[in-house]
Amino acid sequence: MKNRKSFAIHTLGCKLNFSESSDISRQLIEKGFVLSEQPDYLLINTCAVTGTAEKKARNLVAKLHRQHPNAEIIIFGCYSALSPDIIAQWQGVKAVLGSADKMNIIPYMTEEALPQAPHFFSSYSSHDRTRSFLKIQDGCDYHCTYCTVATARGESRSDNIDHVLQNIETIHRENIKEIIITGVNLGDFGRKNGSSFLQLLEAIEKQDLIERIRISSIEPNLLTPEIIALAAQSKRVMPHFHIPLQSGSDRILGLMKRRYNRQLFASKIEEIKKYMPEACVAVDIIAGFPGETNEDFQNTYDFLNSLPISYLHVFTYSKRPGTPAAAMSEQVSPPLKKERTTQLLNLSTLKKEQFYHDHYGEERPVLIESDIKNGWLFGFSDNYIKVKVPFNASLINTITPVQITQDTIEPE
């Protein structure tokens, strides 16, 4: 093993990346490495969803190299999978590993033989005392015209149900109360190994260990009535859904090569609210996709405004080299994209305020976290309302009933 034994890890992008970074950290510590503010190795897990994400990676590497000129910098993740030659030229970078071979980081640092690369790299986060992000699926077979994730992370692949349950047992032993199930295309879980996401949820219910389960982003065409029905009846699966729409114009959805239309999307929201009127529903939306006319945007805005959703994740369209959308004519101008983004963000604020207001006076179970600010503790209700309670150390990592009022809601 190399003599250099300290490391630091920096993560950009999604919760999936944080889950993977946490797993790599755990394995390095098991190998005898230590986390340090003066590291021998700097590990950077990159994102490539937007041009901004790439710029953040470049700036972070430059900053860290200035601060730690003698450290070996190892880059991995989505951006390194897409642009390894560019990254290799950055000062201080000694190794560039893509998404598929990220677990080769450990053999590189220990000078051990490279293992047979697993088809699926399982991971979960454990840095938070109350919640863990558990990765069960990776990659995507959809190839939407604006997205680089399918290229960066490869084809869709999944863990198996038995191993997921083993990970949940481990997480439960760490006294973590909530698991957020994550993946690139979560609803595709098990398609290639004879199981399904519904079967996984049923197995977790039967396992009867973890107190709270949240489903992270799931494609509307893969959110089945059976999954919604299970969530409605479950005491473990939280009434909280994150569903990508991307556009409220069927024409733009076609250009994006999305696998649903407005009608299907609206039917999913209707079904959720029918059985879980208290449910929080977050929606992803892209502003300024190539060819998006004023009419298309207005259709999107009006469609979102008409739906009983809770808030939006708004993304300004960012041209990704090599994607079909980047070569499309009629690119929307930056000022117009910014204007549309602002309108959607304002709509999101209105939706969230209405969602909170609808629950005033209700008492909801809240998982209290360890964050302390100005004498307050914070946590999220079952339906993902962020609340605050006066500091009381005995409440940390407990599920406590809290009345939802204007005074207990924490503005975000």
Whether the per-residue pLDDT at 128 is higher than 60: the answer is yes
Question: Last residue of some domain: 110, 136, 153?
Answer: 110
Whether the per-residue pLDDT at 51 is higher than 90: the answer is no
Q: In this predicted model, what pLDDT tens digit does every residue of 176-210 receive, in sequence order?
A: 999 999 999 999 999 999 999 999 999 999 999 99
* Residue 152 to residues 46, 323, 324, 353, Cα–Cα distance (Å): 11, 12, 15, 37
Whether the per-residue pLDDT at 118 is higher than 60: the answer is no
Clarify whether residues 323 and 296 are in a common domain.
Answer: yes
Residue 49 buriedness (CB in 10 A; 0-12 / 13-18 / 19+): buried
Average pLDDT of the residues in 231-243: 97
Q: CATH number, domain at 78?
A: 3.40.50.2300
Weakest-pLDDT range from 90-104, 213-227, 308-322: 90-104
Share of the chain above pLDDT 70, in %: 96
Residue 115, domain member (yes or no): no
Residue 1, domain member (yes or no): no
Measured torsion, CA atoms of residues 340, 245, 366, 197, in degrees rounded to the nearest 10: -160
Clarify whether residues 284 and 171 are in a common domain.
Answer: yes
Clarify whether residues 348 and 375 are in a common domain.
Answer: no
Residue 145, domain member (yes or no): yes
Residue 301, domain member (yes or no): yes
β-strand partners of 41: 7, 72
- Tokens 């605050």 belong to 388
Whether the per-residue pLDDT at 222 is higher than 90: the answer is yes
Clarify whether residues 330 and 379 are in a common domain.
Answer: no
Residue 62, domain member (yes or no): yes
Q: Mean pLDDT in the chain?
A: 92
Amino acid at 384: Y
For the beta carbon of residue 59, count every other beta carbon within 10 angstroms: 10
Q: CATH number, domain at 146?
A: 3.80.30.20
Residue 34, domain member (yes or no): yes
Three-state secondary-structure class, residue 250:
helix
According to the model, what pLDDT value does residue 134 have?
95
Residue 313 CA from chain centroid, whole number: 11
Query: Is 213 within 8 Å of 204 (Cβ atoms)?
Result: yes
Query: Is 344 within 8 Å of 247 (Cβ atoms)?
Result: no
DSSP H stretches of helix in 257-333: 262-275, 294-306
Clarify whether residues 49 and 157 are in a common domain.
Answer: no
Clarify whether residues 313 and 280 are in a common domain.
Answer: yes
According to the model, what pLDDT value does residue 82 have?
87
Whether the per-residue pLDDT at 411 is higher than 80: the answer is no
Clarify whether residues 308 and 230 are in a common domain.
Answer: yes
Which position has the higher pLDDT, 119 or 84?
84
Clarify whether residues 189 and 234 are in a common domain.
Answer: yes
Closest of 55, 50, 48, 54 to residue 16, by C-alpha: 48
Range of the domain at 274: 123-358
> Residue 77: left (phi > 0), alpha (psi -120 to 50), or beta?
left
Question: Last residue of some domain: 55, 85, 110?
Answer: 110
Average pLDDT of the residues in 365-384: 93
Clarify whether residues 97 and 211 are in a common domain.
Answer: no
Residue 238, domain member (yes or no): yes
Domain count of the fold of the chain:
3
Average pLDDT of the residues in 149-158: 89
Whether the per-residue pLDDT at 340 is higher than 90: the answer is yes
- What confidence category does residue 52 fall into, taking pLDDT thresholds of 50, 70 and 90? confident
Clarify whether residues 99 and 138 are in a common domain.
Answer: no
Whether the per-residue pLDDT at 116 is higher than 60: the answer is no
β-strand partners of 244: 284
Whether the per-residue pLDDT at 169 is higher than 50: the answer is yes
Q: In this predicted model, what pLDDT tens digit does every residue of 71-101 receive, in sequence order?
A: 999 999 888 888 888 999 999 999 998 777 7
Measured torsion, CA atoms of residues 77, 244, 260, 121, in degrees rounded to the nearest 10: 30
Clarify whether residues 129 and 55 are in a common domain.
Answer: no
Question: Last residue of some domain: 52, 75, 110?
Answer: 110
Clarify whether residues 38 and 146 are in a common domain.
Answer: no
Residue 101, domain member (yes or no): yes
Q: Which two tokens stand for residue 7?
A: 């490391």
**φ, ψ at 364 (rounded to 5°):** -125, 150
